[in-house]
């Protein structure tokens, strides 16, 4: 039996907007984290849980592990499906993640389940934060994994809510819930394989007893809140300081750096630039501030005076599609 305090805690963490449920879907791999989420959600919302396991086919054991989850679900009375997927070549973990979310979203939508949850927890969040700090990520990256997001599966014409209700839970307490239920979870060897950055970071955190993953996860949440504030400021600047004329944009610059980077990113994307990094946008802005022309993603930027009225001109950044180069 799961303690009532834990059930109440996860019930609050899984609270759903009436537009999205219940019922609630649960992604279950067979590892201790997702099994704990399954057990907690079933205890908190009995009769309202659907589970699914994605079989990526990347390891010989995967089919047996999916069947193991099916047996656990059968014992506790939770509907379950095994979803085989094909992982495209390339970055294995990234491709597997994309295939997994697509399969889960499509399956749950077809079952009229408009929200599903994954078992990301505080230790995962701490690992993500340190990995991104180590890469020099900006505010959006340091905000880590969000508690929820909207997801649009390609295989279904529907909007889904993707929940991560365990971001305030520790790995050890989740493992204890599974152990108390008498279940021996699946072991994924990639979790301890130093080939993967996350596995290396996990070991580094475990060896640094002075690090507090729960506190780091809270910091990620605060950074996510800060990103929302910056996002609102960017929208205000785009609305008030952009004039779209002559096939391009006149931008009244001179704002806080994060806000300006966000606004210029929006302008570049509207003009057709794709897959641009914030660091590249920052360098473009620095060149324009120094009165140098700059181009990025097929968009040309330059400084000029923009005539607002007969008596007033403003120093602006002008963005427009880069002219085709002569052969």
pLDDT tens figures, 98-134: 888 889 999 998 898 989 999 999 999 999 999 998 8
pLDDT for 327:
59
Q: What is the largest CA-CA distance in the chain?
A: 80
| Residue 157 CB neighbour total at 10 angstroms | 8
Residue 326: band (very low, low, confident or very high) from pLDDT cuts 50, 70, 90:
low
218 lies in some domain: no
Is the sign of the CA dihedral 227, 231, 232, 233 positive or negative? positive
Q: Are residues 161 and 246 in the same domain?
A: no
Q: Are residues 96 and 200 in the same domain?
A: yes
Q: Are residues 40 and 188 in the same domain?
A: yes
Phi, psi of 136 (to 5 degrees): 75, 35
- Residue 185 sits in which domain range? 4-211
Q: Are residues 60 and 163 in the same domain?
A: yes
Q: Give all strands of the β-sheet with 49-55 in edge-to-edge order.
A: 80-84, 49-55, 24-27, 115-117, 160-163, 148-151
Question: Mean pLDDT throughout 84-90?
Answer: 77
Q: Are residues 167 and 315 in the same domain?
A: no
pLDDT for 187:
85
9: helix, strand or coil: helix
224 lies in some domain: no
Q: Are residues 22 and 117 in the same domain?
A: yes
Q: What is the end-to-end Cα distance of the chain in Å, rounded? A: 74
Residue 90: band (very low, low, confident or very high) from pLDDT cuts 50, 70, 90:
low
pLDDT for 151:
83
* Rounded (10°) angle between helices 213-241 and 257-270: 60
Q: Are residues 168 and 258 in the same domain?
A: no
What CATH number should be reported for the domain holding residue 55? 3.40.50.620
Q: Are residues 254 and 115 in the same domain?
A: no
Q: What is the four-CA torsion angle of 98, 101, 104, 109, rounded to 10 degrees?
A: -110
Question: Mean pLDDT throughout 74-102?
Answer: 84
Q: Are residues 276 and 169 in the same domain?
A: no
pLDDT for 116:
92
* Residue 34 pLDDT exceeds 80: yes
What lies within 8 Å, CB to CB, of 71 at 6+ separation is: none
CA angle 221, 226, 230 (to 5 degrees): 145
Q: Are residues 47 and 114 in the same domain?
A: yes
Indicate the number of domains in the chain: 2
| Residue 232 CB neighbour total at 10 angstroms | 11
């Amino acid at each position: 039996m799961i303690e009532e305090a834990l059930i109440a805690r996860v019930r609050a963490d899984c609270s759903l907007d009436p537009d999205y449920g219940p019922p609630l879907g649960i992604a279950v791999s067979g590892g201790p984290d997702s099994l704990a989420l399954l057990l907690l959600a079933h205890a908190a919302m009995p009769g309202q849980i659907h589970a699914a396991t994605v079989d990526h086919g990347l390891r010989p054991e995967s089919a047996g592990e999916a069947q193991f989850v099916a047996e656990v679900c059968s014992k506790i009375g939770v509907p379950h499906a095994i979803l085989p997927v094909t992982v495209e070549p390339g970055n294995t973990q990234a491709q597997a993640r994309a295939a997994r979310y697509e399969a889960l979203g499509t399956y749950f939508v077809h079952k009229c389940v408009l929200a599903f949850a994954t078992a990301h927890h505080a230790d995962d969040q701490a690992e993500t934060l340190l990995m991104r700090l180590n890469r020099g990520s900006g505010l959006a990256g340091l905000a880590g994994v969000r508690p929820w997001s909207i997801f649009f599966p390609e295989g279904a014409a529907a909007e889904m809510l993707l929940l991560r209700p365990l971001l305030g839970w520790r790995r050890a307490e989740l493992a204890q819930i599974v152990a108390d239920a008498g279940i021996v979870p699946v072991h994924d060897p990639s979790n301890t394989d130093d080939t993967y950055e996350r596995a290396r970071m996990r070991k580094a955190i475990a060896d640094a007893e002075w690090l507090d993953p729960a506190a780091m996860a809270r910091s990620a949440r605060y950074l996510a809140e800060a990103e929302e504030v910056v996002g609102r400021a960017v929208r205000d600047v785009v609305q008030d300081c952009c004039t779209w004329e002559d096939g391009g944009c006149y931008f009244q610059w001179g704002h806080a750096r994060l806000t300006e980077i966000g606004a210029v990113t929006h302008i570049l994307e509207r003009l057709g630039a794709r897959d641009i990094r914030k660091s590249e946008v920052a360098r473009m802005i620095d060149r324009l501030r120094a009165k140098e022309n700059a181009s990025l993603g097929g968009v040309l930027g330059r400084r000029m005076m923009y005539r607002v009225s007969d008596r007033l001109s403003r120093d602006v950044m002008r963005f427009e599609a880069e002219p085709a180069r002569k052969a």
